Amino acid sequence: MSGGLEGLKIINTRAIAVSKAFSAEIEAQGGTVIQAPVMTFQSLPLTPSSVAVLHELNSFDWIVWTSGNGVRFFMEQLKAFNITLPQQLNIAVVGSKTAQIIKNYGLQPDIIPSRFTAEMLAAAMQKKAKGRVLLPLGKMAKQELEIALQADGFETYRVNVYDTVCNEKVKPVLKQIIEANTADVVTFSSPSAVRFFCELTASLECSLFWERVAIACIGQVTAGEVVRQGLHPAIVPETYTASALIESIIHYYQ
How large is the C-alpha radius of gyration of the chain?
Answer: 19
Residue 2 belongs to some domain of the structure: no
Residue 70 belongs to some domain of the structure: yes
Q: Answer whether residue 1 shows pLDDT above 50.
A: no
pLDDT, tens digit (0-9, with 9 covering 90-100), for 34-61: 999 999 999 999 999 999 999 999 999 9
Q: What is the CATH number of the domain that holds 98?
A: 3.40.50.10090
Residue 231 belongs to some domain of the structure: yes
Residue 2: per-residue pLDDT: 57
pLDDT, tens digit (0-9, with 9 covering 90-100), for 3-23: 799 999 999 999 887 788 899
Rounded-to-10 torsion of CA 113, 97, 228, 198: 170
- The answer on 138 and 125 residing in a single domain is yes
Residue 211: per-residue pLDDT: 97
pLDDT confidence band for 219 (50 / 70 / 90): confident
Decide if 111 contacts 95 (C-beta within 8 A). no
Residue 210: which domain range? Answer: 9-38+167-253
- The answer on 157 and 47 residing in a single domain is yes
Share of the chain above pLDDT 70, in %: 98
pTM for the model stands at 0.80
